[in-house]
Amino acid sequence: MSDPQTLFDKVWSAHEIASQGGESLLWVDRHFVHEGSFQGFDQVKARGGKVAEPSLTFGVADHYVPTRNRPAIASPDIARMVEQLTENTRANDVTLFGLNDPRQGIVHVVGPEQGLTLPGLLIVCGDSHTSTHGALGALAFGIGASEVAHVLMTQTLWQKKPKRMRITIDGRPSEGIGAKDIALTLIAKIGANGAQGHAIEFSGAAIRTLSIEARLTLCNMSIEAGARCAMIAPDDKTIAYIKDRPYTPQGETWTQALDEWSTLKSDDGAKFDREVTFDASQMAPVVTWGTSPEHALPIDAQLPDPASENDETRRKAIADALDYMGLKPGQKLTDVKVDRIFIGSCTNARIEDLRAAAAVLRGRKSKVPGLIAPGSSMVKRQAEHEGLDRIFLDAGLEWADSGCSMCVAINGDLVPPGERCASSTNRNFRGRQGPGARTHIMSPAMVAAAAVHGYLADARPLLPSYKS
């Protein structure tokens, strides 16, 4: 009998080609590239190289694509970014889900949606939110441009094995509490670097109750806790989600895959370097107040006071964050007025997210302007099929095309300086949604509640199922 292994160790060792100096040379099963990957392609060109495995490489246009008046792109600079991706993928025979492709969307939404993301695969992309794909039991992490070039040229990557961290989430989240609330609660507790150097495995009763889309949200946010990657062992829900997607294996290979996937779980007695346990049943809806995802509090809380903080660095961090955000110590979160809302991003723009926001907005008006950018073009069509677009439009919000949009604010969609945005995205960093923009991150339902009230607000009383 070999020693009990973690899920992470199993997938890692299945991809190990060689090791040297404490690092492993790993085989990469899927490499996603986007407009920002041009630095990697440029390095390949400078070396006179080409893409080693075009059939394992997939291009997705998402970071710079327009969300309005497609296919026109107003700025030549931005148009150039989209064209570059088309040229680089075409020159290397790489499949591209481009601007006008009906499958286009945000890379971390498209991968799972197309069946490109599967349990047990090693997936990389030049984007930190690649951790998302771990929700299906893949080992997936973000890489930089030099590593993108390395993968393009060799389909491999040198990595030091991270430590393993198990986060067990027990209990059943109450009505109106979702994966975003769990993620922000976790980050507030362990810190924005709390999982640095670690591969997370999420387990526990609460995880099993989460839908696949909610699990994608949770693994997506693991990078905001500093994790190298996050994984969830595949179960019946995973298999049901994956089945019959365009790139999912079929027939005999599907049976072979099911067989292999059944071993993808941590063995009893497997050792983790760190164990953290949470109870989801006590969690409240959470919003961020500051400029780091760890600056997160339950919606009924008051803002912190730097004066009551003993540590100098922390005191300064709180004071700076309050100052940037235009907020006062001790202020109630529900007294914070918002200027606009955004629902989108690889974190929270899948169909279940749009349904959750629509449930709050149905028959109501938004007090502030706002933009809704679906996670993919397929999500967009599905939402329109369900009539969700009408709910958003009737509320006075803008229904747009799919892309990273106002989450990273490089396609022209941005929050004006000094304005406050309630956002379903992943980062409340200074200037993330545009220079001087003030971002509060929260679940899509909470964003919808902020729209209805014009203030940060608890979404639960607005839910159809709410009983006072």
Site for other proteins in 250-289 (CB under 8 A): 250, 253-254, 256-257, 260
Residue 360 Cβ vs other proteins, minimum distance, rounded to whole Å: 29
Handedness of CA 29, 148, 238, 95 (dihedral sign): negative
Cis peptide before 71 (omega within 30 of 0): yes
| Total site size for other proteins, rule CB under 8 A | 81
Tally Cβ neighbours within 10 Å of residue 9.
Answer: 18
Residue with tokens 């070396």: 47
Identity of the residue, 223 or 333, whose beta carbon is nearer to other proteins in the bound complex? 223
DSSP run (H or E) holding 169 = strand 163-170
| CA separation for the pair 133, 139 (Å, rounded) | 8
Antiparallel, parallel or unpaired: β 122-125 and 30-33: parallel
Q: Which two tokens stand for residue 376?
A: 């993919």
Residue 240 Cβ vs other proteins, minimum distance, rounded to whole Å: 17
Contact set for other proteins, span 298-317 (CB under 8 A): 313-314, 316-317
Give yes or no for a contact between 174 and 206, defined as CB atoms under 8 angstroms apart.
no
| CA separation for the pair 11, 119 (Å, rounded) | 9
Of the listed pieces 99-107, 163-171, 375-383, 404-412, which binds other proteins according to CB under 8 A?
404-412
Contact set for other proteins, span 79-118 (CB under 8 A): 80-81, 95, 116, 118
Q: Binding residue for other proteins (CB under 8 A) from 10, 56, 281, 390? A: 56
Of the listed pieces 14-22, 169-177, 212-220, 327-335, which binds other proteins according to CB under 8 A?
14-22
Residue 219 Cβ vs other proteins, minimum distance, rounded to whole Å: 16
Selection from 407, 391, 399 nearest residue 462 by Cα: 391
Contacts of 286 (CB under 8 A, 6+ apart): 180, 181, 184, 185, 188, 296, 297, 298, 299, 442
Residue 19 Cβ vs other proteins, minimum distance, rounded to whole Å: 10
Of the listed pieces 1-9, 213-221, 247-255, 344-352, which binds other proteins according to CB under 8 A?
247-255
Residue 459 Cβ vs other proteins, minimum distance, rounded to whole Å: 27
| CA separation for the pair 389, 449 (Å, rounded) | 17
Of the listed pieces 18-26, 66-74, 174-182, 345-353, which binds other proteins according to CB under 8 A?
18-26
Q: Binding residue for other proteins (CB under 8 A) from 88, 89, 104, 155? A: 155
Residue 4 Cβ vs other proteins, minimum distance, rounded to whole Å: 23
| CA separation for the pair 323, 290 (Å, rounded) | 9
Q: Which two tokens stand for residue 328?
A: 């006062």
Contact set for other proteins, span 159-188 (CB under 8 A): 160, 162
C-alpha torsion 282→285→290→292, nearest 10:
70
Q: Which two tokens stand for residue 405?
A: 């949009």
Contact set for other proteins, span 406-445 (CB under 8 A): 408-410, 417, 427, 429-432, 435-436
Provide the 3-class DSSP secondary structure of residue 123: strand
Q: Binding residue for other proteins (CB under 8 A) from 92, 203, 222, 292? A: 292
User: Inter-axis angle of helices 76-91 and 38-46, to 10 degrees?
Assistant: 50
Residue 269 Cβ vs other proteins, minimum distance, rounded to whole Å: 27
Identity of the residue, 195 or 356, whose beta carbon is nearer to other proteins in the bound complex? 195
Residue 16 Cβ vs other proteins, minimum distance, rounded to whole Å: 9
Residue 108 Cβ vs other proteins, minimum distance, rounded to whole Å: 13
Residue 126 contacts other proteins per CB under 8 A: yes
Q: Binding residue for other proteins (CB under 8 A) from 21, 269, 363, 464? A: 21
Contact set for other proteins, span 331-370 (CB under 8 A): none
